[in-house]
Structure 1
Amino acid sequence: MSQEYIAIFMFALMMLMLFTGQRVFGAIGAVATIAALALWGTGGQDITFSAAMKLMKWYPLLTLPMFIFMGYVLSESRLADDLYRMFHVWMGPVNGGLAIGTIGLMVLVSAMNGLSVAGMAIGATIALPELLRRGYDKTMVTGVIQAGSSLGILVPPSVVLVLYAMIARQPVGQLWLAGILPGLLMAGLFVLYIWIRCRIQPELGPAMEDAHEVPWSEKLRLLGAGALPLIIFAAMMVPFVNGWTSLVESSAIGALTALLVSVIKRRMSWKIFEDCTKQTLAISCMFMWIILAALGFGAVFDGLGAVKAIDNLFTDQLGLSPWMILILMQLSFIVMGTFLDDTAMLVIVAPLYVPLVGALGFDLIWYGVLYTITTQIAYMTPPFGYNLFLMRAMAPPEITLKDIYGSIGPFVCVMVLALIIIMVFPEIALWLPGYVYGN
């Protein structure tokens, strides 16, 4: 059997196992192990051992539990409450202002945790009930929460970009910096859409009259709450960008800063600390198993020479241009996103896509941003978008599945526009890491 057919068979078998409901790491790891033993006999077992050693030796992987712990501390200790109150009193007098403030809240929350799930939890439990109580259109605000929470996997410290860095062998710091301007661009497009929509249809986002009644002393106090995520972000990034600390040391500083702030504000208890620690351990172990399986799968693909064969198929036999191949890759992410989460999508296709992107002459830092944005779009794409079901699980009873599905259309269009802008103007993603690192 030719290399191409073996590669296709491996990919098809893995997808079949995923459709049967198997765990992601189990499906990927099993296919890799079976293929290695079938192709190279008992010597194939060295592939998984080598992947495990590579995982254990990859020092930046220690950042994962740090950022996950930081996200859970900020979420479970309800430190975001004051942030939302700040946006309420400052943005409330504007039509749609509270929805715009929700996007601002999501950007700041993303800068504190790097997980979209944490943003969704905060938005659904803090912002959504208040928006509904204030008479905002439930369909629009449901889309606002979902779109805003997706920023968590793009704005640093993004856990997804750490995983991409591991698999693509790219510097985490450059990927984080590459995500900043695209993340702010997307948030700005969300805000612009909400503002224009509520100017045309004021009934969708009525102005908050009581926001004028808040004294200036309270407004200034709440403005200080907005500095909280900036302090945590600066505590992590400034030493790292200046070369004073390593990536792992910076992640530890961020986690300790979040914990210290929650203690100072008297939002931390032993029960919350225990819950955060347990959830961090569970999520970190899941990520490590998935990365281990992905490394094994990628090693088998490399051994087969499948990437070179597929590159030859696309460019020589089918005559596709590099840009056409790149667009097909992004479309495949959207299709897979209807039934897989971002981590699963990355580890399934990374052994194929990442080397192919490099072979086609594209920048892998830039592609990491494209992958992340496409993942955000896939999260919100029916019929089985990941964020759709997260919202259904967290939303109040008056928000129906029909409302959730009907809310995402305009925001998906905005995200597609942002993706096109980043593809046409790569410097939006590459300028900041190039400026900081002198590339």
Structure 2
Amino acid sequence: MSTGAIGIYGVIATLLLMGLRVPIAVALGSVSIIGIIWMLDLRAGLGIISSVPFNFIGNWALTAVPMFLLMGFICTTTGMTNGLFNAMRIFLAKLPGGLAVTGVAASALFASASGPSVATASAMARIAVPEMLKHKYEPGFASGVIAASGTLGSLIPPSILMVLYGIYAEVSIGALFIAGFLPGLISAGLYVGMIILRAHFNPELAGNGHSQPSTGIAEKLSALSDVWPLPILIGAVLGGIFTGLFSPTEAGAVGALVATMIAALRRQLNWQNFKEAVKLAVVGSSSIFAILIGTLFFTRFLVLSGLPTDLAQMVLSLTDGNPYLIILGVAVIYVILGMFVESIGLMLLTLPIILPLVAGADMNLIWFGIIIIKLLEIGLITPPIGLNVYVIKGALGSRVSLQNIFRGVTWFLVMDIIALLLIVAIPSLSLWLPKVMWN
């Protein structure tokens, strides 16, 4: 059997295993190891198995992953976000669908400090959705707002997905962080505009016009006093990166330290919630690293089979190197696989095949990275997996059905597609800020 045929059978076997809910790391690793030994021999296969993971995991840039996770989980477990929603509510609740707009704004701000989309969705689901339900918001609409807004953590820096893409594609993580700003703000702006229009023309979605009581200057100032930790944390992390004070890799450790100091200063830090944050960060990091190791084996297996090169040549011959046709093909792949595979696994599974295509078409890897992240955002709320939807469901229990939440995110998926089209059609939305900051 040719190595190319072995590669094709390996890809099919991997997808079948993942379809059977075998953990991604196990599916990738087991198929790759068997395939490598089959193509070479047992001794060569064992040599690759023993050396490749150690060399990759020793990459200094990977330390950003557990540190950014720890920063986000410290914010969550110490209640640093509790005052955020209340402050946004006071200033925005008078708008049509004001509590939903508040949910988007609070999620965007929290995403800037937390990193993981799941952390944003989980934290805001427990704060914002019950408040909307109390004011008679339609349950699917209320939960859909937070499920979709939680995805902003993927595009608004710091983002774990950006860190992993930057490491794998060998591009500047700092440039990716900066490039994600405008697309992230555009996504949030489209959400807000859609919410206001829908609530204006269909008031029953937002409690049939139930408004919030007026608040005075004193209450507004008091609310602002609860928000200060997040701007300081964001400023410390992103300001340090943009000024060159420290690298994006070091920024994760700085962010975790600053988050811990702020929680201690506010007397919200105790041994129990600190231990919980560390535990969540360790579990999350271990899961990501396991997938990374599986992906490394899968990449080596594909390279030995020659499949990525053959596929790249075939696709480039069909697309004639047209970047937009390549992006269309990638989007179709991500929409289909995104229904079954979670975002980190999907990105790491497909990059070994996709990046040679992108390199062959001479596409900007920063711009393409933002497109990939946006596609992964869409996957976070696309059925049947829709990881953020399940996070919201887990946080709310029986108060809102899974079907209602998926129905509630439909309009947000439309806005995401519009944002994706803008990012693809206008590359400067992603590339202008990095150019300004570093030229």
Bucket of the pairwise TM-score, normalised by the shorter protein: over 0.9
Q: Which residue of 2 aligns with 1:18?
A: 18
What are the Cα deviations for residues 278-336 of structure 1, in whole angstroms up to 9, with x where unaligned? 11111111111111121222122223332221122223368684422321211211111
What are the equivalent positions in structure 2 for 1:9-408 lying under 5 Å apart? 9-41=9-41, 42-206=43-207, 209-212=211-214, 214-316=215-317, 321-408=322-409
Q: Secondary structure at the match of 1:300?
A: helix
Shift of 1:137: 1.9
Which amino acid counterpart does residue 241 of structure 1 have in structure 2?
A: F
Aligned residues: 437
Which amino acid counterpart does residue 126 of structure 1 have in structure 2?
A: I
CA distance in 1, matches of 2:53, 2:162: 21
CA distance in 2, matches of 1:137, 1:317: 47
Q: Secondary structure at the match of 2:340?
A: coil
Moved more, 203-212 or 171-180: 203-212
Q: Secondary structure at the match of 1:211?
A: coil
Q: Secondary structure at the match of 2:180?
A: helix
Shift of 1:155: 0.8
CA distance in 1, matches of 2:363, 2:77: 40
Moved more, 398-407 or 122-131: 398-407
Shift of 1:59: 0.6
Which amino acid counterpart does residue 84 of structure 1 have in structure 2?
A: F
CA change 1:290–1:174 in 2 (3 A) is: same
RMSD of aligned alpha carbons:
1.8
Q: Secondary structure at the match of 1:397?
A: helix
Q: Contact (CA 8 Å) 1:337, 1:386: kept in 2 or not?
A: no
TM-score relative to the length of structure 1: 0.95
Which amino acid counterpart does residue 200 of structure 1 have in structure 2?
A: F
Moved more, 149-158 or 223-232: 223-232
Shift of 1:208: 5.9
Moved more, 199-208 or 234-243: 199-208
Q: Contact (CA 8 Å) 1:36, 1:45: kept in 2 or not?
A: no
Q: Contact (CA 8 Å) 1:158, 1:176: kept in 2 or not?
A: yes
Q: Contact (CA 8 Å) 1:71, 1:113: kept in 2 or not?
A: yes
Moved more, 21-30 or 302-311: 302-311
Shift of 1:101: 1.0
Shift of 1:49: 3.2
What are the Cα deviations for residues 47-66 of structure 1, in whole angstroms up to 9, with x where unaligned? 23332233233111111111
CA distance in 1, matches of 2:351, 2:403: 34
CA distance in 2, matches of 1:177, 1:155: 9
Shift of 1:421: 0.5
CA distance in 1, matches of 2:212, 2:433: 41
Shift of 1:70: 0.9
CA change 1:2–1:430 in 2 (3 A) is: farther
Shift of 1:210: 4.3
Q: Secondary structure at the match of 2:181?
A: helix
CA distance in 1, matches of 2:432, 2:50: 39
Note the residue ranges of structure 1 that are not aligned, 5 or more in a row: none
CA change 1:322–1:216 in 2 (3 A) is: closer
Q: Which residue of 1 aligns with 2:6?
A: 6
Shift of 1:405: 2.2
CA change 1:195–1:209 in 2 (3 A) is: closer
Aligned-pair identity in percent equals 27
CA distance in 1, matches of 2:293, 2:123: 31
Q: Secondary structure at the match of 1:189?
A: helix
Moved more, 226-235 or 153-162: 226-235
